[in-house]
Structure formats: structure tokens, C-alpha cells
Amino acid sequence: MHKCSKYCKRNIKVGKTYVSRCRFDFPRPVRDSICINDVENILKSGNKIYYLKQNEKEVRVNDYNPLLLKLWCANIDLQYIAESRLSLTQHVTGYVTKAEKSHAQDLWDEVSSWDNIYSRFWKMGQKLL
């Protein structure tokens, strides 16, 4: 469940005042069915392309698929990506190779002790595999 913090809160100007909103769009609206926004609405307001069916208990839960969640038995953040193949590839590889900060720092500390740059990148690639 998402709990807003300083990291996700953004001050957005609405009229003459500023309103604090979550950049991840939480809490999500309660919906009886899937809602797909029209292109004009998406471009004008910056809204999501779609909103999944959610009840009151799910307004702070990432988008998920019940079947995948049951099969995977772990956190799922399901997203529709309407991009070209290159953008999709960049998004997916960036997401799956994202390391925990402590792990990334440990890896960098170890890599820094190696001799030349070619050797560093080669060994880093081996460690990540």
C-alpha cells in the first residue's frame, strides 16, 4: 500500500492557490469498472490513460492483475506502456536492473578497486548476471 511522503508530494498550482498532490496519483479513485480516458483529456490534464476497477480498500494499491498476483506471490505494479519498441525496451531494462541503493553502493565500492575501466565494466556485468 502506498503511503505518501515528502518524496512523492508535489505542490501544484490550481487557480491562485497551491495544492499538494501525490506524483503517483494516490489515492486512486474508486471505480466500478475500468475507465479509459479520451486522448484530449489525457493531453490537457495529464491524467492516466486508464483507471482500473478499484474499491475503497484499494485506493492506495498499485495497479495489479488478480491472476498474476496469485501466481507471482509478490508485489506487482502493472502498467500499460503505449510507446515504441525502443522506449519500451529502455523502460523495462531500466526498471528490472534498478538495484537497491545499498546494493548498488556495495557494488560500486567493489568495482572502484579494480584496475582499468574496461575491466571494471566487464566485472560489473558479470556481477549483475
User: How far is C-alpha 36 from the chain's CA centre?
Assistant: 20
pLDDT, one tens digit per residue, over 57-113 is 999 988 888 888 888 888 787 777 666 667 777 777 777 777 666 666 777 676 666
Question: Within 10 Å of residue 28's Cβ, how many Cβ atoms?
Answer: 19
pTM of whole model > 0.95? no
Q: What is the distance between the alpha carbons of residues 63 and 48, in angstroms, rounded to a whole number?
A: 12
Extract the runs of DSSP E, i.e. beta strands, from 1-117. 9-14, 17-22, 35-36, 50-51
pLDDT, one tens digit per residue, over 3-61 is 999 999 999 888 899 999 998 889 988 999 988 888 787 777 777 788 888 999 999 98
